[in-house]
Structure 1
Amino acid sequence: MAKRKPNLRSVRELTPTLHHRTIHGYRRAYRVAGSGPAILLIHGIGDNSTTWSTVQSKLAQRFTVIAPDLLGHGQSDKPRADYSVAAYANGMRDLLSVLDVERVTVIGHSLGGGVAMQFAYQFPQLVDRLILVGAGGVTKDVNVALRIASLPLGTEALALLRLPLVLPALQVAGRVGGAVFGSTGLGRDLPDVLRILADLPEPTASSAFARTLRAVVDWRGQVVTMLDRCYLTESVPVQLIWGSQDSVIPVSHARMAHSAMPGSVLEIFDGSGHFPFHDDPDRFVECVEKFVDSTTPAVYDQDALRDLLRTGVSERAITGTVGTRVAVLDAMGADERSAT
């Protein structure tokens, strides 16, 4: 790993500041800090840009770090709108264009990982590198709670959080559960789940959450899967970061994505849950910096992309153990494909 540059910037410059831009008539919030090559941080479902607070200031010592609130989340507007993964990718393109940012290293967590992958697929000319953190959209498997929430009346039950004492009672139960489950994946993830739930009682927030969830999950699991298009990242440096005890997206998804993405780098945080950048922020920053230092930004080549599309996925490009390769091929054959 290249020696880190000394921090010569003021603390004020490295502290993320909240900004707003109106795009297509909707106000979009984002936090930005630092200077240098651009990094785009995309959060997960129900979350917001503050989830990156543990790492944004550290990364800003070397990079311009932009962390938006996705439409329907945080301090961005929450209209009745298209909350599909492809629509979110369009929103990232539009925000970067407004900010005069021409190329980025994209880091996406959970749903944001699916958005990051979709962004790289739709706008490869804008992507230097791709980093997926506990990313959704690898196969259909997902936590059963999200499957239940996607059912009719499932997300509508979030209205109960507006009743007096319901949310405080859940928070108390969560703290007890966290103590009981300790350092397990569920124990590690409960505080963040409760933090996200605390933002959902507001009607427009719960409605946006419902629309977003149902765009990517139904009772059978994740609807949008990306394994059949992973081969398109052949010329893009890709890093996968996962917690070994992720209770939302199993770590097996990391191994399958690694198998399907030629040349990708896999980092598993032993003992971490769904938020490895919360569990070990210093290691997370070190992994990102090392990855950036050791890779060359992708070069967009339309002819090469056209050839890849014509050839399609090749079984020979799928790596890993026999079991992992079989799992990837089985998922590609059995899972529903995104028609985007």
Structure 2
Amino acid sequence: MVFEKDGYRIHYAQAGEGQDIVLLHGWGGCIGSWKPLMRDLSTRARVSVPDFPGHGQSAEPPVPWDVSDFARAIADWMRALGMEKADIVAHSFGGRVAIVLAAEYPQLVNRLVLSGVPVPGLLEMRPSPRKRLRSGVYRALRAICSPALVGRVRAERMREALVQRFGSPDYRVLSPAMRKTFNRVIAQNLAVFLPRIQAPVLLVWGDQDTAAPIDIARALEGRLKDAGLVVFEGADHFAYLREYPRFYAIVRQFLLEGR
């Protein structure tokens, strides 16, 4: 199934009947990231899972987007599907979108489950000396890759070589257009949205998460109006998959049995 509007399209899957639950995947993920949870929740609810634009079977957005753009698109998609108020389960980048969605479109959001969500602006995260060194070397080498110095074609090749050498795995596989979107996404301050979230929030985190350290979860618990934290000891950024039976039981209790 496909939703289209304003030059973008969202491919999505849907199963079940009843209360609406939306599952939002992380960066580089897709509908398949939620296959077990969609299967299990759809026995008692209507579960809808989108591929974010630029992911899965959804085409890239027409221009570089930030998190607010993704949240607006998801809000439009939810309205088109007739959702009046949905529960949201989100991982990583999907959680960034869920935070903005809950703040900007509170009429669409009932409850939130967030796992492994980086939240720019929430904590002062100082990069390690090694990371600062790599960043400095990258900036210095990129300055040399100027079309005025080496020509346009050679500059593009050199810059791509730098990306492959210094970029993160997520960044290296992106198209040039999606790299611009990625840069806008990671730069957007999300902490400013937190005071506006009224929905109850369940935080489920792995204490070995290096992409979104456990300190973020603890800070979120303190900053959100109505939040609780469950920590999976020994689990990493993908706690929702590593500890799936436990994750499912907690989500089921929070969304379906705690009413």
TM-score, length basis structure 2: 0.78
CA distance in 1 between partners of 2:49 and 2:12 (Å): 5
Q: Does residue 239 of structure 2 align to residue 276 of structure 1? A: yes
Conserved in 1, the CA contact under 8 Å of 2:10 and 2:52? yes
TM-score, length basis structure 1: 0.61
CA distance in 2 between partners of 1:143 and 1:68 (Å): 33
Secondary structure of the structure 2 residue equivalent to 1:271: coil
CA distance in 2 between partners of 1:263 and 1:95 (Å): 26
Alignment of 1:173-252 (within 5 A): 201=173, 205-217=174-186, 223-226=188-191, 228-233=192-197, 235-252=198-215
Conserved in 2, the CA contact under 8 Å of 1:143 and 1:249? no
Gapped regions of structure 2 (runs ≥ 5): 143-155
Change (3 A) 1:68 1:270: same
Change (3 A) 1:155 1:283: farther
Identify the residue that residue 37 of structure 2 maps to in structure 1. 55
Change (3 A) 1:143 1:244: farther
Secondary structure of the structure 2 residue equivalent to 1:113: helix
Q: Does residue 52 of structure 2 align to residue 70 of structure 1? A: yes
CA distance in 2 between partners of 1:94 and 1:158 (Å): 38
Change (3 A) 1:212 1:295: farther
CA distance in 1 between partners of 2:177 and 2:201 (Å): 30
CA distance in 1 between partners of 2:63 and 2:114 (Å): 26
Change (3 A) 1:37 1:48: same
CA distance in 1 between partners of 2:159 and 2:235 (Å): 28
Q: Does residue 111 of structure 2 align to residue 111 of structure 1? A: no
Residue 34 of structure 1 deviates from its aligned partner by 1.6
Secondary structure of the structure 2 residue equivalent to 1:130: strand
Alignment of 1:49-198 (within 5 A): 49-137=31-119, 138-139=122-123, 141=125, 156=160
Conserved in 1, the CA contact under 8 Å of 2:118 and 2:211? no
Secondary structure of the structure 2 residue equivalent to 1:128: strand
Change (3 A) 1:53 1:156: farther
Amino acid corresponding to residue 239 of structure 2 in structure 1:
P
Change (3 A) 1:288 1:82: same
Amino acid corresponding to residue 211 of structure 2 in structure 1:
V
CA distance in 1 between partners of 2:22 and 2:159 (Å): 29
CA distance in 1 between partners of 2:101 and 2:20 (Å): 15
Conserved in 1, the CA contact under 8 Å of 2:99 and 2:190? no
Amino acid corresponding to residue 237 of structure 1 in structure 2:
P
Gapped regions of structure 1 (runs ≥ 5): 1-18, 162-192, 297-340
Residue 156 of structure 1 deviates from its aligned partner by 4.2
- % identity of equivalent residues: 30
CA distance in 2 between partners of 1:143 and 1:99 (Å): 42
Conserved in 1, the CA contact under 8 Å of 2:7 and 2:62? no
Amino acid corresponding to residue 272 of structure 1 in structure 2:
A
Conserved in 2, the CA contact under 8 Å of 1:45 and 1:209? no
CA distance in 2 between partners of 1:264 and 1:93 (Å): 23
RMSD of aligned Cα (Å): 3.0
Secondary structure of the structure 2 residue equivalent to 1:291: helix
Conserved in 2, the CA contact under 8 Å of 1:73 and 1:208? no
Conserved in 2, the CA contact under 8 Å of 1:110 and 1:135? yes
Conserved in 2, the CA contact under 8 Å of 1:27 and 1:76? yes
Amino acid corresponding to residue 63 of structure 2 in structure 1:
A
